[in-house]
Chain A
Amino acid sequence: MIDKKLIEECRGGNFNNFRKLVEVTSPIAFSVAFRMLGDDDQAKDVVQETMITIWQKLNKIKSAEGYKSWMYRIVINKCYDELRKRRRYPEFVPDEKTWALISNSFSDGPSSDLENSETAQIISLLTQKLSPKQKAVFILSEIEEMSNDEISEITGMSKSGIKANLHYARKNLSEMIEKYL
């Protein structure tokens, strides 16, 4: 939970409190960025860029209430930029070692906690055919468990757009799960 008082103080230009805000906000931003990109280093870069943008534009948000969705919006847009850069990357085909790792994760049961690298492998494998928008909607809706209103505020998509993107994402993911797992 992000402290609203802390945000207000940072909005006033308090540089020392911004350190605390970075400390609190970074893991949340990293979680989304990592799930969107499936890459540790790139996700860290996105978090850094996000934090810098937050510092530069923090006084432009209307109130501390809107901070979280505003932060998510910055992260998602920065992830879009990253995904756009790597649009021509070759298709992710897991090797035997990776397959063993993914299979173990599934056989361990639904509540097993995965390492970052394992999560990255699964995300890269399953979401490789999703468009950036579908990926964003899927992650925010299915994994971060946000409402359509929140997603609409973050991505700027209409509710029907969100539903359509989520439908295609689920369909695509089901096919990928059926194919690989």
Chain B
Amino acid sequence: MTMKPESEKYNKVLNILRNSNPILKSTKDIEKEVIKRISMSKQPGCNLTDVIDFLFGWVYIGWVRRSLVTASVFLVLVFVWQQGVMLKQINFLSRQIIVTGGETVNSPARQVEKLLMRYKSSGRSFPSQSITISEKQMKELLDSVNDLKIKYKDLMNLIEEDPELKKYIENKLIENNRSKIKL
């Protein structure tokens, strides 16, 4: 059987390549370098490459490994963002919820105002247990009362210090037939 000249050339090239086994002249250098790098990596301390190798070391294809790393970083970021949003929402809601007679009401400031109006208009006979407000709103209410007390005290001091003003106010009150304020 005669071979085509093309195949002969091909086989000749193959034979040459098979027979000329590449020789690694610096095995010792490679050995030294490998041992050095392994010894360095054995030292304590955990870097990002180690973590990535630990998690994705089973993937040998470069682009698959990179894609997996990118996807995991993205998922972690999404998870963190989602947790942040949820936490924010929970905090927001915990500040907001008001329950009135079994009815859940949002928008606290206005509702509290309305409830206070109802309280006033109903002859101050608001039944107990019928209003629930959040801790924060209660704190705001107490702060507001304290603030009012301080302002009232300041005003009284101001009037006490100025006899003319005191007299003027007393006269005004008498004029208006209002109940006297005992200064």
Contact = CB atoms under 8 A, between A and B. Distances in A.
Contact of B10 (A51, A143, A173): A173
Interface residues of B, number: 34
15 contacts: A19-B35, A22-B35, A23-B27, A27-B27, A31-B24, A56-B53, A74-B60, A84-B63, A106-B12, A111-B15, A113-B19, A143-B18, A174-B10, A177-B6, A177-B10
A22 B33 CA distance: 11
A126 B13 contact: yes
B34 A22 contact: yes
Interface of B: 6-7, 9-24, 26-27, 30-31, 33-35, 37-38, 41, 53, 57, 60-63
A35 interface: yes
Most buried by A among B14, B30, B41, B62: B30
Most buried by A among B22, B35, B53, B63: B22
Contact of A43 (B12, B22, B33): B22
Contacts of A177: 6, 9-10, 13
Interface string A71-82: 001100100110
A181 B9 contact: yes
Given A19-B35, A35-B22, A122 B17 contact: yes
Contacts of A145: 18
Contacts of B14: 142-143
Given A84-B63, A112-B20, 7 more contacts: A22-B35, A23-B31, A31-B21, A31-B24, A57-B57, A73-B60, A80-B62
A18 B79 CA distance: 42
A48 B60 CA distance: 16
A123 B16 CA distance: 11
How large, as a class, is the contact surface on chain A? Answer: 35 or more
Contacts of A31: 21-22, 24
Contact of A52 (B19, B22, B26, B38): B38
Q: Closest 10 interchain pairs by CB?
A: A114-B20, A34-B22, A30-B24, A110-B15, A77-B60, A51-B34, A27-B24, A22-B31, A81-B62, A119-B20
B57 A56 contact: yes
A170 interface: yes
Nearest to B27: A26
B16 A122 contact: yes
A178 interface: yes
B17 A22 contact: no
Contact of B22 (A19, A30, A170): A30
Interface string A101-128: 0000110001111111011001100100
Interface string A53-91: 001110000000000000001100100110010000000
Interface string A25-37: 0110011001100
A174 B9 CA distance: 8
Given A48-B30, A84-B62, A119 B22 contact: yes
A116 B61 contact: no
A22 B16 contact: no
